[in-house]
């Protein structure tokens, strides 16, 4: 079992990865769970149908009773109605300020459970037990949120978990699309931090379907990148924005198609190709690298063709909702070189020009 420490101004916790992580309920997390008057497990319905037994058996072995609340699978769990039903569940089962929650699911379940934990009786501790690859990004760092009809992640807070326990066996049931989605965030972590690591991923013909051992060590590297950034900028005043690489266009594409139609990471992959292209003008990224990245994404079955018939004008309103917009201007995370991100204001005209350049490069590199 591997572990690393995340130390922010407000808290300090461990992220563990390995097949034995749930044994930690009997050791490292025994005190937290035994001292709690109630333990609530909030589980994603699909993740629970495959794997909940592993978690429940480990809790039982540690002598910890729990109440189970099953959530709708995926993004639906982040609705205001689902959020309120979680609070009602806790109240009806007499949870108090001395209670603890456990999130068992992907990023959606983790974001929801974290926000419920942040707000129930003004805040109780929670553990993250992620079940998706993407959650190597979302479970670390303490951002929690739910969606509003007006937009995604619009209501939330910063609330760091008490610990994060990754069990790699749980990833074996993920659909390929969800694997691709999570691995896009891994590539993002490589691109913003380390040229050599980026190269090794681009050259790995197994990508994105790694064996459990390779996956564990790659995820650990990704988590380390996230942890380093969060430690220095817990509340996103500066460098935490680098984690947004590829997300300005990515989020716009995701919103344009309707959330869930093309997965988050698939949209981020398109957004990263765009950011690399912009980085040719503002940094030292070469057109050859961008084209190589496009071919790599295509070979790894990311649906870059999805945007070929989409006009820039249809995406611009979504891009303008980006949290990085400053004085009405779009701000992008770009790369000076591989591993060296910076933020840059870019005019709408240049954004439009580069967008159509991206479309022509995709047409040139991808068999459609």
Ligand X SMILES: NC(=O)c1ccc[n+]([C@@H]2O[C@H](COP(=O)([O-])OP(=O)(O)OC[C@H]3O[C@@H](n4cnc5c(N)ncnc54)[C@H](O)[C@@H]3O)[C@@H](O)[C@H]2O)c1
Pairing of strands 2-7, 12-17: antiparallel
Residue 135 or 358 having the CB closest to ligand X: 135
CB of 135 to ligand X, least distance (A): 5
Distance CA 22, CA 33 (A): 13
Q: Based on CB atoms, which residue is closest to ligand X, 158 or 342? A: 158
Nearer of residues 75 and 352 to ligand X, judged by Cβ:
75
Owner of token pair 């992907």: 106
CB 139 within 8 A of CB 224: no
User: Cβ distance 339 to 192 under 8 Å?
Assistant: yes
* Residue 114: CB minimum distance to ligand X, A: 7
- Closest approach of ligand X to the CB of residue 223, in Å: 12
Q: What is the DSSP letter of 124?
A: -
Query: Apex CA 362: angle with CA 359 and CA 365, to 5°?
Result: 150
Cα→Cα distances 162→6, 66, 142, 201, Å: 10, 17, 10, 31
Pick between residue 143 and residue 361 the one whose CB is nearest to ligand X.
143
Cβ at position 42, least distance to ligand X in Å: 12
Name the residues that contact ligand X, by CB under 6 A.
44, 46-47, 50-51, 73-75, 78, 105-109, 111, 131-132, 134-135, 137-138, 141, 143, 153, 170, 173-174, 178, 181, 264
Indicate the residue whose CB is closest to ligand X. 107
Nearer to ligand X, 168 or 339 (CB): 168
CA–CA separation, 253 and 363 (whole Å): 18
User: Which residue in this structure is represented by tokens 């044994």?
Assistant: 23
Residue 175 beta carbon to ligand X: minimum distance, rounded to whole angstroms: 7
Looking at beta carbons only, is 99 or 132 nearer to ligand X?
132
- Kindly report the length of the chain: 368
Smallest distance from ligand X to CB 142, Å: 8
What are the phi and psi torsion angles at 355 (to 5°)?
A: -65, -45
Burial class (CB in 10 A: 0-12, 13-18, 19+), 272: buried
178 vs 280, beta carbon nearer ligand X: 178
Q: Nearest approach, Cβ of 352 to ligand X (angstroms)?
A: 27
């Amino acid at each position: 079992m591997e572990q690393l420490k995340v130390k922010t101004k407000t808290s300090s916790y461990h992220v563990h990865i390995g097949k034995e992580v749930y044994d930690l309920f009997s050791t490292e997390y025994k005190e937290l769970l035994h001292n709690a008057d109630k333990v609530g497990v909030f589980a994603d319905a699909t993740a629970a149908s495959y794997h909940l037994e592993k978690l429940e058996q480990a809790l039982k072995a540690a002598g910890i009773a729990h109440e189970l609340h099953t959530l709708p699978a995926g993004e639906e769990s982040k609705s205001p109605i689902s959020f309120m039903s979680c609070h009602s569940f806790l109240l009806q089962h007499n949870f108090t300020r001395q209670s603890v929650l456990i999130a068992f699911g992907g990023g959606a379940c983790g974001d929801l459970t974290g926000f419920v934990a942040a707000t129930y009786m003004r805040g109780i501790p929670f553990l993250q037990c992620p079940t998706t690859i993407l959650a190597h990004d979302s479970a670390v760092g303490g951002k929690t949120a739910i969606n509003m009809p007006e937009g995604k992640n619009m209501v939330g807070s910063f609330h760091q978990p008490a610990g994060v326990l990754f069990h790699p066996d749980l990833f074996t049931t993920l659909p390929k699309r969800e694997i691709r989605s999570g691995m896009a965030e891994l590539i993002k972590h490589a691109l913003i931090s380390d040229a050599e690591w980026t190269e090794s991923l681009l050259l790995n013909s197994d990508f994105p379907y790694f064996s459990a051992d390779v996956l564990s060590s790659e995820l650990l590297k990704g988590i380390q990148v996230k942890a380093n950034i969060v430690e220095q900028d817990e509340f996103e005043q500066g460098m935490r924005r680098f984690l947004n690489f590829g997300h300005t266009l990515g989020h716009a594409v995701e919103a344009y198609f309707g959330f869930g139609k093309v997965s988050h990471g698939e949209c981020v992959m398109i957004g990263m190709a765009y950011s690399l292209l912009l980085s040719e003008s503002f940094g030292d990224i070469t057109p050859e690298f961008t084209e190589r990245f496009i071919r790599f994404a295509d070979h790894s079955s990311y649906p870059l063709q999805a945007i070929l018939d989409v006009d820039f004008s249809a995406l611009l309103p979504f891009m303008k909702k980006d949290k990085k917009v400053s004085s009405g201007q779009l701000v992008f995370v770009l790369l000076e070189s591989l591993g060296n991100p910076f933020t840059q204001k870019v005019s709408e005209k240049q954004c439009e020009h580069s967008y159509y350049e991206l479309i022509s490069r995709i047409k040139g590199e991808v068999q459609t």
